[in-house]
Structure 1
């Protein structure tokens, strides 16, 4: 194991054991390095790496703190990485992950959704059907899928899904859909998902979500 990797693991263990909690300030660099049996250089590199993924918050002139460790903060680092890998192969791999996770989110939503959430989703469907540009379709699509994921009641799952396919990917998909003349079909799939959620039909919601994401792959430029 590389020295820096070992240092990262040592700091991680302090956090996962509860010795260091969200918001806690790390001990002075020299003291922590001595305590963990690490060189100050390797500890410094570990802190830098953990700050990049938002586990640690380095405050100049103040010290280094454990972050809030909230899903939103930690998954933001994944969003940055994904933005660096937007080639055709990478986008397809992201969609393959969505094809696994979105049906799971829809299934959970079917079990937990409240009547007012169904009303809100139907309103989003109405808005999508009134869209007149790709930008409006993308805005509707983002709002719709975020709402379904929130209805799952799992904040980590909702944030992960939002991170996996942000506006950049969705613009490419919806451009393909509009060029292929399949907008009505895509929006009808949204309606079908909502109907299944409203009826608390877990497997039907899962199935429609699977179909919807799989069809999105077809409309990526260069696919189909």
Structure 2
């Protein structure tokens, strides 16, 4: 039964109409992702009305393609002008922009495209076959596990500074202070907003990344 559903899904994907919406979504998503500040989530939200009249399968294909295209489009500005288009492409500035300064932007863009394709393909395959098992593990994760995971992520990230561990810890502390601005997700209490309504939603990571990388 599961094999039949899987084969039926592949047959639906190979439909020429679905392929058309997939290509269109990738093109639109790439253009949206290249705009600093508009990430995959914002791109899908803005272009959601396009999917109202094209059918369920075509709509899902379009939105998914826009999301994937935006993920790659964010690396364009990261590589070319050292300004990340979205949060996931912030790390791309470290190596991609260095190749641009050396006069090799084409190599960086090609590597980013190939890496996005391979990573996306592996991710989709894993999503198809591993979703039931991952869902079972999700029930096990509680507050202690999430706290330990975030603590490990912060320690690992602060250690990326190699021998400059103190600078990494200082950057981690500044990041935590910035993330504390806005409404608390559990208690709903405003923190460090100083009476400004605009700060109640907090400061988005893309805004911070654009400021840090763009001004530098």
TM-score normalised by length of structure 1: 0.29
Greater CA radius of gyration, 1 or 2?
A: 1
